[in-house]
Amino acid sequence: MAEAKFRYIATKRRPKEDRRFLAGAAQFVADINLQGMLHAALVASPYSFARIKSIDAKVALALPGVHAVVTGAELAAATEPMMSGLDAPKLFRWPMAHQMARYAGEWVAVVVADTRAIAEDAAELVEVDYEPLTPVTDPEAALDPASPAIHPEHGSNILFRKKWTWGPVAEDFAGADRRLAFRARWHRSSTVPIETFGVVASWDHARQLLDVWASIQMPKYPDQLARALRLPGNGVRVHFDVDVGGSYGVKRGLKHSILAGFLARKLDAPVRLIEDRLDNMRGGDAQGPDRIFDMEVAFTNAGVIRALKIRALDDCGAHAGRAPLQLGKPVGAICGPYRVNSVEYEAISVTTNKTPQEAVRGFGQAPTNFALENAVDRVASALGMDRIALRRLNLIRADEFPYTIPSGSAYDSGDYHAVLDKALAAGPYDALIVRRDAARAAGKLAGIGVVTCLEPSGGNSSFEPLFNPKNDTTTWMEACSIKVDAAGSITVSMNTTSSGQGHETLASTVVGEVLERDPETIRVVRADSLSALPSNSPVGSRMAIMLGGAAAGAAKKIKETAAAIAAKKLGVAPAEIDYADGVFSVRGEPGKKLTWQAVCETAHRRFHELPDGMEPGLQAFHVLEVPTGGTLPTADGRVQMYPCYSFESHVVYAEVDRVTGQVTLGRYVVGHDCGTMINPDIVHGMTYGGVAHGIGAALYERFRYDDQGQLLSGTFMDYLIPSSHEVPDIAIVDHCTPSPLTAFGQKGSGEAGYLGGPAAISCAVNDALAPLGIFLAELPMTPGLLGDLIATKQK
Amino acid sequence: MSSHAITVTINGRVYRATVPARMTLVDFLRDELRLTGTHVGCEHGVCGACSIMFEGRPIRSCLMFAAQADGASITTVEGLAPEPGGLSVLQDSFWETHALQCGYCTPGMLIAAHALLMRIPNPTDEEIREAISGNLCRCTGYKQIVDAVKLAAERLSGKNQNG
């Protein structure tokens, strides 16, 4: 597809939704205030593993203002367990613990009161008698069949274990000149939005309808909520016009919502459940991947990487959540942007007595990219070869697309060499080398990281059938509808919440582009879940592709209809109508024309002038299947995971303080190719933010547990989020390889920056530590960790 | 628990209320006055989402009790614009550079930047980063926020003729 010229797309335009946030006039879930609303506070287990012997709520219930105390047992009896996503029929999970508490912070009871303060007071008065059990906190210990079973009915602590072999791995390893192996450790962190999760639920007796407002970013949330509450799907109405204060994957408070919905029905009153920060960090079930990679690489003396063996062991915490499936998505980019002949991948998910995980930006790809890029640097180091030359040698070439990797996914398009070159030029890399060497000469630890990473985009659910053969889902559609009124005003309806991605700007820009109407005049509204068309929410870097594609599809139908109306009125065939700048005209006879407004008025008022069989009014909707979607994995686990592949190359200069271990990032460049950017400011913003998030995961953020399973970093005093001091002035260099699979050549970008950042920073730090003979494949590289390691080597 | 009668001037309007001793200032603003532009992020004074102008200085309203605000003059994000429905130069500059995504930290960020520009009309990048370093943003990586504050400073000092 040639690079097209656009009217509104790819131009600088002020995002549509920004104004309400700047005015302090947004509507977040905590801003919703219903008449008679009650407030919930949670009683959490202090033990990481314990049997719940009894719960005594008498004193709590006696406190004035308290309406109810509900235990996990009562809730479990009245609701369906949440789905695990796995073929594990004896793995049960309810919003609150019953019988056993499986991690410190797990909810065991909830108090509902007139105010949050009273509810918190009462929560402290609930007396729970526990019998502590021996926790499992080490994921490798959890592999041992003799480890205490956290879910006894399931029978072991292994939730998922499968090995795939794609291509002649054994032959490639046996025939390779060289092999190396190492272990990479990605410790547990998460996206930790500044807004915690919250939900308000209200039960309407007269209509038998549960209304829900939530800070949610979750596919199938209304369906799963209704199912758990034993309500029909049309008995739950989720309002999507709630502004979500950041998510990046994790805002999937299904358990909170089931609980709030249950309480609202039980008490016949609106109930609000807003996490406080400790609830969020410890009991919000929103931590991220916690992974041990055992990497093996087979390569030639010339530096050609032939084969990979990857064993990924993930500590999913106390319940499955989305953790096992986060081992699945990386199958779609398991060898990164490199030409690798064969791959073996073993994915193992174990349960331990820690907080469960939720989907985190990239869905497991950022840890995988970190392991892959360190593997590439290790190969270069082993061969004494320049790591950039090694990458150039192994990167898929621009003329090889579409390129199918051993695990079955075809990469749509790209020019990896060009993006790498642009990033190096922007460094500029030569100057960074001079700077590094001068710093080293002055006794400093200085290094440069250069990585090349993929962002699979267009969020499909192919990992679900891959990990659970009983799940035969092959569509992950997204929809959009458009109504044009008699005066020509356009209203676009989307079907999910947003959490900062600028979807109103996206949809209005795309519709404006197709209909040649100013996006500023286009209103974007959000359906509720009962009026919505089927959609799957903004996950997997999909909305530019999926909402953009659905909006374009609906707009094209509007344009066709309008042109048909104009053609009839002008007395010609529709094929003879031209449309430009809001005017329909007869080709070759520009004097014979009708305005956009005139056609819209006709559609709404003059049925007698409409083409035969046409419905009155001017409206359309489009439900888009994921491009390349629609098929199940093959028997040997080959699958087209996501349709589009964005690419990023990071060039990072870092210095490590020899005494404190503090890393300072002195230069940060991202070369980025996500195809056509619908709104460049939005794409750049997400990329800067992704890098900042990557800096956190690489250097600071860690949910640290002691050996009894107690979370040691549950506040912002000890779980450290990068501030404006830690995030340098990042430079982005754009490149555009349009995708052949999408409406305007766009690809996804919601995970940009984060998918390469931790890899790049770790490679820069390793370059800095190389003179000391240190190689460290462990994130986060906190000052304490690095300082101690450097001290050991300097002795 | 004791209650306290307080009189507070917020965004130019005088409010009189009786508050429980333990009610934080941010809960008073949000839950009692329904000024929900000010947000709660951590309730332990780190994230800065609850920042407000208090007697001309930026403070964290989660770390103060409402009773302590008796007699004080406060500006929240709702009071930054020169007229209802408008945007201040700073707010408009945030829009121009897209200095926000989810918008949750934005009110606190605006307060921090507003306080900076009152103190230092033409701040350096370092001064801007210092001024917003107590306000955590998870979306932006801060770059477009720094750009916005620089743009606002230029506009306010008349250097930017487009402003």
Task: Classify the C-alpha dihedral A344-A161-A633-A644 as positive or negative.
Answer: negative
Residue-wise pLDDT tens digits, A388-411: 999 999 999 999 999 999 999 999
Residue-wise pLDDT tens digits, A695-736: 999 999 999 999 999 999 999 999 999 999 999 999 999 999
- Is B106 close to A21, i.e. CB distance below 8 A? yes
Task: Give domain status of residue B137, yes or no.
Answer: yes
Looking only at the bridges linking them, the beta strands covering A198-204 and A583-586 are unpaired
pLDDT band at B161 (very low <50, low <70, confident <90, very high): low
Provide the H-helix boundaries in A166-253. 169-175, 221-228
Mean pLDDT for the stretch of residues A152-174: 97
Q: Are A524 and A494 in contact (CB under 8 A)?
A: yes
Q: Which one, of B10, B142, B162, B139, lies nearest residue B92 by Cα?
A: B162
Give the separation between CA A316 and CA A695, rounded to whole angstroms. Answer: 23
If asked whether residues B22 and B63 sit together in one domain, one would say yes
If asked whether residues B72 and B42 sit together in one domain, one would say yes
Most A-contacting residue of B29, B30, B98, B133 (CB-CB within 10 A), to test interface: B98
Give the separation between CA A343 and CA A296, rounded to whole angstroms. Answer: 10
CA A170 and chain centroid, separation: 34
User: What length is written for chain B?
Assistant: 163
Q: Are A726 and A785 in contact (CB under 8 A)?
A: no
The CATH number assigned to the domain holding B39 equals: 3.10.20.30
Q: Are A168 and A342 in contact (CB under 8 A)?
A: yes
Containing A603, the helix (H) or strand (E) segment is helix A596-605
- Is A22 close to B44, i.e. CB distance below 8 A? no
From chain B, pick out residues whose CB is under 8 angstroms from the CB of A192: 138
Give the separation between CA A761 and CA A697, rounded to whole angstroms. Answer: 10
From chain B, pick out residues whose CB is under 8 angstroms from the CB of A37: none
If asked whether residues B13 and B70 sit together in one domain, one would say yes
CA distances to A80, A101, A260, A690 from A255, rounded to whole Å, are 11, 15, 9, 27
CA distances to A136, A157, A666 from A45, rounded to whole Å, are 16, 21, 44
Task: Give domain status of residue B161, yes or no.
Answer: no
B160 has pLDDT over 70: no
Containing B155, the helix (H) or strand (E) segment is helix B143-156
Residue B50: CB atoms within 10 A of its CB come to: 28
Among the partner-chain residues A196, A245, A729, the one whose CB lies closest to the CB of B102 is: A245
Q: Which one, of A760, A750, A779, A757, lies nearest residue A360 by Cα?
A: A750
Among the partner-chain residues A28, A191, A724, the one whose CB lies closest to the CB of B142 is: A724
Q: Are A276 and A196 in contact (CB under 8 A)?
A: yes
- Is A717 close to B46, i.e. CB distance below 8 A? yes
Distance from CA of B152 to the nearest CA of A (A): 14
For residue B136, which amino acid is it? Answer: L
Task: Give domain status of residue B84, yes or no.
Answer: no
Per-domain residue ranges for chain A? 18-24+477-624, 32-133+197-274, 291-462+632-794
Percent residues over pLDDT 90 in chain A:
98
From chain A, pick out residues whose CB is under 8 angstroms from the CB of B101: 246, 500-502, 682, 685-686, 689
Phi-psi region of A328 (alpha: psi -120 to 50; beta: other; left: phi over 0): alpha
Q: Which one, of A750, A758, A779, lies nearest residue A246 by Cα?
A: A750
Looking only at the bridges linking them, the beta strands covering A107-113 and A66-71 are antiparallel
- Is B37 close to A24, i.e. CB distance below 8 A? yes
Give the separation between CA A159 and CA A325, rounded to whole angstroms. Answer: 11
Collapsed DSSP state (helix, strand, coil) of residue A85: coil
Structure tokens that stand for A2 in this block: 């040639």
For residue A685, which amino acid is it? Answer: G
| pLDDT value of residue A742 | 98
Residue-wise pLDDT tens digits, A20-40: 999 999 999 999 999 999 999
Mention the CATH class of domain A32-133+197-274.
alpha beta
**Same fold across A32-133+197-274 and A291-462+632-794:** no
B1 has pLDDT over 90: no
From chain A, pick out residues whose CB is under 8 angstroms from the CB of B100: 18, 21-22, 500
Task: Give domain status of residue B162, yes or no.
Answer: no
Mean pLDDT for the stretch of residues A345-373: 98
CA A225 and chain centroid, separation: 20
Phi-psi region of A303 (alpha: psi -120 to 50; beta: other; left: phi over 0): left
Among the partner-chain residues A685, A730, A753, the one whose CB lies closest to the CB of B98 is: A685
Collapsed DSSP state (helix, strand, coil) of residue B110: helix
Q: Which domain holds residue B93?
A: 89-156
Mean pLDDT for the stretch of residues A618-629: 97
Give the separation between CA B26 and CA A657, rounded to whole angstroms. Answer: 40
Q: Are A541 and A750 in contact (CB under 8 A)?
A: yes
Task: Give domain status of residue B129, yes or no.
Answer: yes
From chain A, pick out residues whose CB is under 8 angstroms from the CB of B106: 21-22
CATH architecture of A291-462+632-794: 2-Layer Sandwich (3.30)
Strand order of the β-sheet with A583-586 is: A577-580, A583-586, A589-595
Mean pLDDT for the stretch of residues B131-156: 98
Q: Which one, of A347, A337, A348, A340, lies nearest residue A308 by Cα?
A: A340
Last residue of a domain, one of B79, B106, B131: B79
Q: Are A467 and A85 in contact (CB under 8 A)?
A: yes
Mean pLDDT for the stretch of residues A586-595: 96
Distance from CA of B158 to the nearest CA of A (A): 22
Please provide the average confidence, as pLDDT, over all residues in chain A: 97
Residue-wise pLDDT tens digits, B33-73: 999 999 999 999 999 999 999 999 999 999 999 999 999 99
Q: Are B52 and B75 in contact (CB under 8 A)?
A: yes
For residue A375, which amino acid is it? Answer: A
Most B-contacting residue of A12, A18, A687 (CB-CB within 10 A), to test interface: A18
Q: Which one, of B99, B104, B108, lies nearest residue B134 by Cα?
A: B108
Give the separation between CA A622 and CA A507, rounded to whole angstroms. Answer: 13
pLDDT band at A2 (very low <50, low <70, confident <90, very high): very low
Q: What is the CATH number of domain A18-24+477-624?
A: 3.30.365.10
Looking only at the bridges linking them, the beta strands covering A158-166 and A107-113 are unpaired
Q: Are A16 and A526 in contact (CB under 8 A)?
A: no
Residue A725: CB atoms within 10 A of its CB come to: 13
Looking only at the bridges linking them, the beta strands covering A38-44 and A66-71 are unpaired
Most B-contacting residue of A13, A17, A21 (CB-CB within 10 A), to test interface: A21
| pLDDT value of residue B163 | 44
DSSP symbols for A626-664? PTT-S-PPPTT------SEEEEEEEEEEEEE-TTT--EE
Domain count, chain B: 2
